[in-house]
């Protein structure tokens, strides 16, 4: 199974909404809150994890709490033949938080963190010098106005199913 083909049902959505509200709730308490058997909740979570529908379990810490208060997106154009080399090099840069391949003129969109503008310049240059990357453009993030979320989408899916 993969996340592209996995279809959430109402029970999955209820579990995920409850976890979104309190991601550290023990499975037994979650089952009690939802009126489900502990085994049902456990099985559903394992199936979601196995399908790739869930992000890997992690304690996501904000970069600012590690002295990395500057965030930016670096868009990169690259020699398509060197895509794998560029990605391998980007994986070696600790300040690279995530990298996606969007449609359009940008080949890679890279979210990075830095300590200050001078450090952001250093990180941007490190990215620019990766094998296969031919050009970069950096846009500093001034403020996250809507942080990563799925709660509203889960609620919408629940409404659409009724």
Tokens, residue 3 = 């996340």
Q: Encode pLDDT of 101-135 as tens digits.
A: 999 999 999 999 999 999 999 999 999 999 999 99
- Hey, what CATH class is 63-141 in? alpha beta
Predicted TM-score (pTM) of the model is: 0.75
Domains in the chain: boundaries:
10-59, 63-141
Give the pLDDT confidence of 19-53 residue by residue, as tens digits: 888 888 999 999 999 999 999 999 999 988 888 77
Q: Do domains 10-59 and 63-141 have the same CATH topology?
A: no
User: What top-level class would CATH report for the domain 10-59?
Assistant: mainly alpha
Question: What count of other Cβ atoms lies within 10 Å of the Cβ of residue 31?
Answer: 19
């Amino acid at each position: 199974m993969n996340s592209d083909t996995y279809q959430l049902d109402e029970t999955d959505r209820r579990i995920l909404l409850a976890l979104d509200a309190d991601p550290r709730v023990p499975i037994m308490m979650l089952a009690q809150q939802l009126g489900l058997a502990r085994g049902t909740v456990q099985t559903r979570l394992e199936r979601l994890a196995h399908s790739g529908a869930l992000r890997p379990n992690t304690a996501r810490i904000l970069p600012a709490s590690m002295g990395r208060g500057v965030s930016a997106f670096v868009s990169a154009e690259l020699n398509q033949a060197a895509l794998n080399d560029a990605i391998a090099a980007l994986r070696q840069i600790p300040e690279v938080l995530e990298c996606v391949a969007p449609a359009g003129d940008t080949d890679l969109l890279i979210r990075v963190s830095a300590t200050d503008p001078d450090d952001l310049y250093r990180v941007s240059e490190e990215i620019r010098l990766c094998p296969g990357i031919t050009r970069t453009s950096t846009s500093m993030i001034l403020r996250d106005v809507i942080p990563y979320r799925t709660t509203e989408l889960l609620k919408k899916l629940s409404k659409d199913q009724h």
